[in-house]
Chains A and B, each alone.
Chain A
Amino acid sequence: MTTATVPARAHRASSDLRLLCRQVLFEQLGFWLNPIGATFTIGFALVFMVLLGLSEGNSRIPFLHNVTLIEYYVPSFAAYGVMMACFNLLSIGLVQRREAGLLKRLRLSPIPVWAFLGAALVSMLIIATIQVVIVVAVGRWGFGVALPHHYFALAATFVIGAFSFTAMGVAASTFIPNQDAAPAIVNVVFFVLLFISGVWFPLSPGSALARLSSWFPVRYFVNAVLGPFGMQGGRPTWVWHDLLVVAAWGVAAGIVAVRRFRWAPRRD
């Protein structure tokens, strides 16, 4: 038998934090090194917002305090940016890495699991933030839409939304059998949910779509993001009851994700 001595926890938290930051840099590098993926991810929301804004941007929404459509699209596409990164990109990326054996190899390397998952989350937050900033900036200087008024509520809404949709993204990845199916499954689910939840056009209260979408988390997140932009009437503020629903979805998805997460590819 060997007489190896095993130092139980020789690693300091500070060096692990450095490892996490380093991993974030490489995650970002991996994202931007694929120019088509990066352009598509960042540009998609922007192109749609601009097209929708140019065609019908000045129409007023009677059931939403008479705000104009473009005023509505800025927060709704900001919400889209967060969901795209945290749910869509993350879940497809996880399935691809799992099936390629990358997750298994990572699991067998000394990087702690929290550092890897934390880096993936931070990296998605960066991509989400970039999208939000671009959408808000184009809204402000392209269409004259006022900047959000309540930055703390905005930040809190985005962080809660990002964590929740990340949990949903991880949970979703556990239900997808292989990397070929991943983009198809995720995109169909994602865009149908966006469509029925009022990202592309505002839902009038009490309509069939509004009722249908109340079963899913996207609608609540879009509502929550409208708050800090002052689209919910009165002063800009949080929409805490909608945020609470999003957070509940996040917690439930988190439980599913932890229970079902797998590192190894699903062969056969």
Chain B
Amino acid sequence: MAAQAVVADRLHKSYRDVVALDEVSFEVEQGEVVALLGPNGAGKTTTLEILEGFRTPDAGFVRVLGVDPSDRRSQRWFHERIGVVLQEMAIEPYFSVAQVLRRNAGFFAAPRPVDEVIDLVGLTEQRDARAKGLSGGQRRRLDIGLGIVGNPELLFLDEPTTGLDPSARRATWSLIRRLADEGTTVILTSHYMDEVEALAGRVVVLSGGTVVATGTPASIGRRDEHPVTIQFDLPWDVSADELPVTATFVSGRRVEIRAEDDLRVLAALVGWALDRDVRLRGLTVTRTSLEEIYLSLTQGHERALPELV
């Protein structure tokens, strides 16, 4: 069994009378990319802050890289081994890319070489540009560069692509994938389901301060067992009764088939269409989206909770 990077067992945290986390338990293995999902106020940031050692839980057991993250005796050792990218872009405006990376590299006993970080985050051409002149995507990549300059074993990314345009998001994703390929354990939060599907091997869904589901993006909430939805445009000269399976009209000539036994239904449909020489225009086969699963998992749990008090 791979070693555990994170063990969180029945974490509890309240801010005055407000319960932020209630019995939150999950584990992360070394080298995994895990996404924490949940509506605002679900406890994502509080969970991250406990794992980072920035806050202590009121009750429960937490071990990150084998130590208690808020234990002062091992804190420096711990901080040498984690990287943190916060929701806010924490960058001073007047330093150049190379300067600010060089400064932060100096905090660590064994940093990643600054030039390597600059190449890795794709800022080679901007290495001497001041941070304030960078685009949003470039700033975010510098921000991630600051998170990895200590060559961390474990990287925390709090909403890494919020506010970025699509191409900057793609660039950030490929950077995160590269880090994961190198063996870095990554714990990220996100509101984008496509991001989670692209990056995370496993998902932990938080809602109202509790874990409501964990699993892979493909199987969470029994997503893989949900029926598939087949849709296409039925030609004018064919009636729905002629189809080999039951279909319902959704709009105009567009029909929908819900199939539990997806392969058999598809085979029957395609075989029929080839025999009859019927074109199935606009054919789509979709499974319940991660977003739909996520919404059904978190519905009714939403509470307006402050993430920080």
- Chain B interface, DSSP helix/strand/loop, else mixed: loop
Contact indicator B107/A19 (Cβ below 8 Å) = yes
Contacts of B108 in A (CB 8 A): 109-110
Choose one: A4, A9, A19, A23; the contact of B67 (CB below 8 Å). Answer: A4
Number of A-B contacts (CB under 8 A): 101
Contact indicator A108/B109 (Cβ below 8 Å) = no
Distance in Å from the Cβ of A174 to the closest Cβ of chain B? 16
In the assembly, what is the distance between CA of A103 and CA of B162, in Å? 21
Distance in Å from the Cβ of B159 to the closest Cβ of chain A? 12
Q: Check B73 for interface membership: any CB of A closer than 8 A.
A: yes
Choose one: A3, A99, A109; the contact of B66 (CB below 8 Å). Answer: A3
Distance in Å from the Cβ of A32 to the closest Cβ of chain B? 9
Interface residues on chain B, number (Cβ under 8 Å): 43
Interface residues on chain A, number (Cβ under 8 Å): 36
Contacts of B73 in A (CB 8 A): 6, 8-9
Q: Per-residue CB proximity of B1-27 to A under 8 Å, as 1/0?
A: 001110100000000000000000000
The CB with the most chain A CB atoms within 10 A, among B65, B89, B92, is that of B92
Contacts of B79 in A (CB 8 A): 108-110
Contact indicator B109/A110 (Cβ below 8 Å) = yes
Q: Check B84 for interface membership: any CB of A closer than 8 A.
A: yes
Contacts of B30 in A (CB 8 A): 2
Chain-A contact segment, one of B98-106, B198-206, B216-224, B274-282 = B98-106
**8 shortest A-B CB distances, which residue pairs?**
A4-B66, A2-B66, A101-B88, A101-B90, A33-B94, A110-B79, A111-B107, A101-B86
Chain B residues with CB under 8 Å of chain A are 3-5, 7, 30, 52-54, 63, 65-67, 73-74, 76-77, 79-80, 82, 84, 86-95, 99, 103-104, 106-109, 130, 146, 150, 306-308
10 contacts across the A-B interface (CB closer than 8 A):
A1-B66, A6-B74, A8-B74, A23-B103, A26-B103, A29-B99, A100-B88, A102-B92, A108-B84, A111-B107
